[in-house]
Amino acid sequence: MINLLPPKRVFGIKVARNNTILRRYLELSLMAMLFLCATVLIAHYFIHQQNVNTRTAIELEEVKLKELEPINKKAEDLSKTVNIIDNLISRNIKFSELLVKLGAVMPDGSVLTGLQFSVDSLDSPLVVSAQINDEQKAAILRNNLAGSDLFERVEIKNITLSEESTNSAGSSVPSSAPVASPSVAPVVPVVQYKYSTKIDAYFKKGILEPRKL
């Protein structure tokens, strides 16, 4: 087909076609850029909301954990006590009988305050905690434990001065104090336990053998 239009007219038509194509490409590019920007903004908004929700949930969980800390501490202490009793029972030692035997060897002027026993090792000692009114009572208690039929070796771990004294039987009053009524029971003087001691008592061989079913 022979084009009879003047060369300038033909050139103008080509330029116009090229401009139209370029304009369409630019429009498509701008639309794509706007779409990407919108996508990025929407994604950023949702990520920010998710972070805020996550931080809020973490803060709420931290508050709940702080509220449960005292309960967890009590549960841990109770679990340790139960483990000690269960381990002693599983080793042919009845906890009630052990307390009776320990109470029988406690000298005057001393009181049993706690027992600790590791369930992980049979070679670990039974740690006997007690309060005493003078340092000599620790040696007497140690000798009494060593003389029992439960332990083969007993060692004093420490003797420390107590910060608080324990009242064993009520409050004391001066002897000249008036008696309110003949039915009132006599008041027993306060016993001050000035010292605390811990003693490691190692069970005799064979006592901690597993109980046979």
pLDDT at 199: 94
Residues 125 and 199 in one domain: yes
Per-residue pLDDT, 116: 86
If we measure between CA atoms, which residue out of 147, 134, 129 comes closest to residue 108?
Answer: 134
pLDDT of residue 87: 63
| Domain co-membership, 119 together with 199 | yes
User: What pTM value is reported for the model?
Assistant: 0.46
Residues spanned by the domain of 127: 94-168+191-203
What would the two tokens of residue 170 be? 């009520």
CA torsion sign, 29 to 30 to 34 to 40? Answer: positive
Q: What is d(CA 87, CA 200) in angstroms, rounded to the nearest whole number? A: 17
Please say if the pLDDT value at position 80 is more than 80.
Answer: no
* Top-confidence residue, 207 or 185: 207
Environment class of residue 162 by beta-carbon count within 10 Å: exposed (0-12), middle (13-18) or buried (19+)? middle
**Is residue 85's pLDDT more than 80?**
no
Sheet with 110-117, strands from edge to edge, namely 110-117, 126-132, 195-203, 151-161
Could you read off the pLDDT of 103-154 as tens digits, one per residue? 899 999 999 988 887 766 767 888 999 999 998 999 999 999 999 888 899 9
Interhelix angle 136-146/95-105, rounded to 10 degrees, is 130
**Which CATH number is 161's domain given?**
3.30.1360.100
- Cβ neighbour number for residue 132 with a 10 Å cutoff: 23
Q: Radius of gyration (Cα) for the chain, nearest Å?
A: 43
Number of independent structural domains in the chain = 2
- Tell me whether residue 41 is in a domain: yes
pLDDT in tens, 142-192: 999 999 888 899 999 999 987 655 444 344 433 333 333 333 344 444 457
